[in-house]
Amino acid sequence: MQRLVPLALTAMVAVPSLSCGEAEERHPNIVLVSIDSLRPDHLGCYGYGRATSPEIDRLASAGVRFESALSTSSWTLPAHAALFTGLHDSSHGLFDNGLRLAPEHRTLAEELRGAGYHTAGFFGGPYLHPTFGLGDGFDVYRSCMTTVPDELSDEDLRRESRASEGRSHDDITGPRTAEEVERWASERPVDRPYFLFLHLWDVHYDFIPPAPYDRMFDPGYAGALDGRDFMSRTEVHPGMSPRDLEHLLALYDGEIRFTDEILKRVLDSLGAKGMLDNTLVIVTADHGEEFFEHGTKGHQKTLFDEVVKIPLVLHWPGVLDAGRVVRDQVRIIDVMPSVLAAAGVRKRPTMAGRDILPLARGAALEPAPALLELHADKREFRALRTNELKVIRYGRRPDGRELPSVGLDLATDRLERQPIGEGGGNARVDEGLRKLDRALETAQALRVWLGAKATSAEMDPELERKLRETGYLMDGGKRE
């Protein structure tokens, strides 16, 4: 495995680090929006039939939409670490609960701050808390949660613990996020370009959009089910009433429309202050959401497309053409190198992601497979996805037995329901599995080479409680 390191690094060094050549493109402002749990196939610009996303659709029609963008995993922490480092999960090391991003990693915010940017982040969910290291590099980093305090002081903890008694996923953070951004926009230093990161949380379960979004897409529903306690309530199971499931989807869609309008409010506010001139706006997500397509609900359970495909829209008027759609597969790890290229900042040679602005400009790049990883239920799942084929290694069961690996032909089986090559014997799948193993070895070797083992997060009891309520800590809490 060790000899893979210099080969891998040599290959990475050979990739030229591009920066924008034209003066007017230099140092644009950057707005990066991550909408938690947002499935692209529930957005109008990706072909959805409901009007869930007029603002994102507007950005897509005036910018570039990537048809097939992939996360690195199906849950919040590793996906955001990949977004902020340009590394696979096995390289940044944040693939399990209770870990903190090693300070040796240079985050996107650190790189942009080093290049002279003012950096500001606003987050609405627990895994973006600075205790996990994802706040590194931000001049301003504010929590917009109402149930977990930003500072987590003892005093806050006592007060918030009482205030949040009995609350679980019912934190509605969008309006507070918009208010915090508006406040920051009036106070920020105006002599530097800015990098603004928004983590919009409300699409994440529970599905309890405020009126009128709660009835917007299913006004005739007369049943008793609502979107509370999505993960724990027993009525929500694979054999549930199709009508009730339809209602849950309408509530999920209501959260998307609610969040889309928060995004519009934020962008309108920035525009009114003249802050969107020469600005690259990126809208994406950390992962999707499952509604029993493969027997489970929520996320952090599988690596099927409904949880690993994410939207990706780039809006940069005057630089990127309006209305371009890129069919080639791209990855969440490609966002950071692309932002650095847009900002004229040279990327580090160890970064696994690549600048995809050439694709956004209509040029071609070699296809790049997406490495997908998930540590869940005491197993390690891994997959490699190309435009045509996904191979999945299901790993070992707790009793040590190796589960059969499978292939999925994405050209003929878009819904991933007819595995091919189960148990071996299919040359195409076997070759895909060999590539998966090589990609994983390279990612793991890079982590060793970087010498940046993620350290254990100092998990505050209140934060741990919040994570437990949101369904992330299910088996006794912190793990190595």
Q: Which residues of this chain interact with Zn ion, rule CB under 5 A? A: 36, 76, 286
Q: Closer CB to Zn ion, residue 200 or residue 357?
A: 200
State which residue, 194 or 197, has the beta carbon closest to Zn ion: 197
> Quick one: 254 or 288, whose CB is closer to Zn ion?
288
Q: Whats the size of the chain, residue-wise?
A: 480
**Least separation, in Å, of the C-beta of 287 and Zn ion?**
5
- Chain-centre distance of CA 194, in angstroms? 21
Task: Please say whether the beta carbons of 476 and 431 come within 8 A.
Answer: no
Q: How far is the CB of 142 from Zn ion (least distance, A)?
A: 19
Closer Cβ to Zn ion, 126 or 419, answer by number: 126
How far is the C-alpha of 207 from the C-alpha of 189, rounded, in Å? 37
Q: What's the min distance (Å) between Cβ of 105 and Zn ion?
A: 20
Q: In whole angstroms, what is the distance from residue 469 CA to residue 228 CA?
A: 12
Q: Which is nearer to Zn ion, 123 or 217 (CB)?
A: 123
Strands (E), 144-234: 194-200
Which residue reads 């696994």 in tokens? 352
Least distance to Zn ion, CB of residue 199, Å = 9
Minimum CB separation of residue 290 from Zn ion in Å reads 13
Closest residue to Zn ion, based on beta-carbon distance: 76
CA distances from 388 to 70, 154, 411 (A): 14, 52, 6
Query: Omega before 286 cis (within 30°)?
Result: no
Whole-number Å distance between alpha carbons of 272 and 270: 5
* Contact in structure between 255 and 202 (CB atoms under 8 Å): yes
Q: Quick one: how far is CA 208 from the chain centroid?
A: 21
Taking the complex as a whole, the smallest distance from the CB of residue 267 to Zn ion amounts, in Å, to: 22
In the bound state with Zn ion, the residue whose beta carbon lies nearer, of 126 and 421, is 126
Which residue do the tokens 């299901």 mark? 394
Q: Which is nearer to Zn ion, 76 or 143 (CB)?
A: 76
In whole angstroms, how close is the CB of 187 to Zn ion at the nearest point?
29
